[in-house]
Chain A
Amino acid sequence: MTHTGKRFPVRLNTRTDKVDMTHGSGGRAMAQLVDEMFVKHFDNELLRQANDQASFDMTAGRMVMSVDGHVISPIFFPGGDIGSLSVHGTVNDVAMSGAKPLYLSAGFILEEGYPLADLEQIVISMAKAASDANVPVITGDTKVVEKGKGDGVFITTTGIGLVPEGINISGDLAQPGDVILINGSIGDHGIAIMSSRENLQFETTIESDSAALHTLIADMVKAVPGIHCLRDPTRGGLATTLNELTQQSSVGMTIREDDIPVKPAVSAACELLGLDPLYVANEGKLVCICKKQDAEKLLHTMRAHPLGKQSAIIGEVIEDTHGFVQMQTGFGGSRIVDWLAGEQLPRIC
């Protein structure tokens, strides 16, 4: 399936054509879409093997694997699109183990009638994200569903990575006395998405923070190999991630509202919509838990990386049989930061 541009007599018209059922049928039309769209942009040696599987050699060690489905609406949003997001999301999930992400797979579910021009824009963005991250897409799949049975494009990516020797990072390793860090401001992604939803357009300069964090993590792991936990606070935001970690590790946490970075525009949008930034999604943030004596060194390392300039220590792990996350409010009181219940819905008056 080498991309030659010569195999099909008439080239795929990515300007005006739309996805139709033949693009998922397994026939010549699908082969052409794969060749002139996916192989063309994702181009790499392993993909060009053109088998049903990608084949590669591995060195010995501990592997990690993660899968992530992407169904975002709108597909294009300030600061990214479903393509770049599908690379960042999975690269980050793999990297949160401390692993070096190696390869990605990509499964596309396309809706009949979706413009090929938009699909190509997504694939180009995805290819760029993969290339920037140096984690190639080496195998893939395409299915087409009838119009009305999908929402344009869904992308599922799987990633694998190799954990460096001696690194053991896991959500159940937080210990009382540990320190909690974050690499920057929260809520940017969720607010960027909401600002571009059809029924909720408001003007904001906020862009999604969508980014691949593995190079930041590589620096962090190098500086402090004994990091206890890493997790990306995506859906459900920082609050949900901290609750997951307290539950896994059977500990409690205290955080300080004043120390959690939130951009003024995100605060303002949350205020307007009745949302709490603690529960708003991020796509380029990580929560890190480490021993107290490692915290300053780690903070220094994080701040030296472009994706960690705003890093901050936001709280501590404590002993608590109830597993509560408590917060010292900026106002001077305290409260629980609970799991998100349902969707975060705007208040009405």
Chain B
Amino acid sequence: MSVRPAGDFKTSYVQDMAILDTRLYRLGFAMLVAGLLLAPWWAGRFIFLLNTIGIYAVGACGLGLLTGFTGQISLGHAAFMAIGAYSSAFLSQALRFPFLIALPVTSLITFLFGVVVGLPSLRIKGLYLAIATLAFQFLTEYALIHATGGIGSTTVPPIVIGGWTVRTDRQFYYIVLVVWLAAGAFAANLVRSRIGLAFMAVRDRDYAAQVLGLDLLYYKALAFGIAAGYAGIAGSLWAHYNRLITTEQFNIGASIDYVAMIVIGGLTSAWGPHLGSAFVWSLSQGLQIFTPAVLAVFPAFGKIATPLREIVFGVTLIALLIWEPGGLAMLLRKLKRKLDLWPFAY
């Protein structure tokens, strides 16, 4: 039920398949990209927030493909991110791989891990699968803690591209932005390709898809692999951005945050993961700024500053999802419809 302006007829399949299908969308997207390109000038010291949003949006994009489009719930996404971060660290620290090679190699490694983890999904389904991935999360965490020799952190060298060393948040932002746009564009294109259609068929009814001739094992494993590949890229970026990684950063909480992000953003939308990541991180950052302000006015709250943030975060999520269970993407779509038709109801 898309709403489009009068006189906008589609006369070719190319037009029908277009992701940005009206002039308004194309203009809006161009302005969004321009705004993001100029972000170092308007974001000021909050550029780190955009970096975080971008990195997590890349990871969430992968989970969106897996959960939203292929229907496989995963509670182990942060484990893939951890594998990505640590292998990236290993590649660039011990083997001295340049970043431009380490990134794809990392992605390939996590892709393979994803395929292996995805294999049981042929037999284990739904929430049982979610728990199996949760087990994978704990096992990975455990293995990494023991492989890195306890609770210490691992240092990662900065990114060097052809003699240019990335040092500041602003420089790093452009690397994140390029990867972010590429990852988002790849996901948006994937879901309208043959593979994406197969994913959706698997999500809607896997046996029916199999009867129609889809190789279930191939597509489920592929979905897990792609999701893990995305998480690996996110992990690699995260490692090079923070320069100091610990297993704590990729614990079960991070995995659940990923699921929260894609649900908040909107499960079956190409925009969902990006909106979700932006919402979650902006909210938590906003609360970090807001809480001291409240404390300055009411010093009595001093003891409960940290829990207060947790409470407000939880309440916001609950309110948002009760208001619109389809997430932000659905909310925006409804808003657009309302604006299009205003002042009439339909």
- A-B complex is real: no
Chain B residues in the interface with A (C-beta under 8 A):
none
Taking Cβ atoms with an 8 Å cutoff, the residues of A that contact B are none
